[in-house]
Structure 1
Amino acid sequence: MSHQVAFPAASLGIEDLCLKRDELNKQIRLEEEEKTKLQNDIRILTERLARINESLARKMASRNEFDKTIAETEAAYMKILESSQTLLNVLRKEAGNLSKAAESKGPVPKES
């Protein structure tokens, strides 16, 4: 005949350990869920960052083209402005020379 001897103190110790293990398992499960969520968030944000970086690169390249076109247009405009100033000065000088030449010939006689 076998005798079972109850060890109430040992039984309470095992139950306490089982409760602590169950609580730890619950914490592990929650942290694993949070880890999975965070990894997914990181993946989503990484993809979003890549798209934004590509968009920024395209927009910066376009802006650089605008800057180049604006600079070239301004330079061409300045050349046109300088040329028109030079032409205006030549015209004024020639008009002055023609006026002097006309004055030196004297008045044109009137025919009667």
Structure 2
Amino acid sequence: MTQQGAALQTYNNELVKCIEELCSKRELLNRQIQQEEEEKGRLQHDVRVLTEKLSRVNESLARRLAARADFDRTIAETEAAYMKILESSQTLLTVLKQETGNLSKVTDPRGCN
């Protein structure tokens, strides 16, 4: 019986050792899970912050794009109006030169001969 008792004690010691190892591994796994849950929380927070920032940047970008479109339209309209003014000025200058030439012919004493 002593031999059986010794074998039972050996089995018992090994079982206790295996259970302790399993508990150690479980505790290690538990710490890893906790670390990953904390990391997940930080990442979710970062995603929320970045999503909010992206939203603000998109809104700002949309406002700036609309403002640029307004600038482009205003510049195009102003340039077109300026070109019309230049054309009118050129026409006015041409007409004025012709009239000045005609008036010079009428008022020039040599033109009467």
Instruction: Say whether 1:19 aligns with 2:32.
Output: no
Structure with the higher fraction of residues in helix conformation: 2
TM-score (norm 1): 0.86
More deviation, 92-101/47-56:
92-101
Aligned to 1:81: 86
TM-score (norm 2): 0.86
Q: Distance in 2 between matches of 1:53 and 1:105?
A: 78
Q: Distance in 2 between matches of 1:88 and 1:26?
A: 90
The one-letter amino acid paired with 2:99 is: E
> Unaligned 5+ residue runs, structure 1?
107-112
Aligned to 2:62: 57
Deviation of the 1:101 alpha carbon: 2.5
Between 1 and 2, higher relative CO (CA 8 Å, sep ≥ 6) is seen in 2
Deviation of the 1:99 alpha carbon: 1.5
Q: Distance in 2 between matches of 1:61 and 1:32?
A: 43
Aligned to 2:112: 105
Q: Distance in 1 between matches of 2:97 and 2:19?
A: 113
Q: Distance in 2 between matches of 1:14 and 1:102?
A: 128
The one-letter amino acid paired with 1:57 is: A
Please list the CA deviations of residues 77-98 of structure 1 after superposition, one character each: whole Å capped at 9, or x if unmatched: 1101110110000000111112
The one-letter amino acid paired with 2:112 is: K
Instruction: Say whether 1:47 aligns with 2:52.
Output: yes
> Unaligned 5+ residue runs, structure 2?
none
The one-letter amino acid paired with 2:73 is: K
Matched positions, count: 103
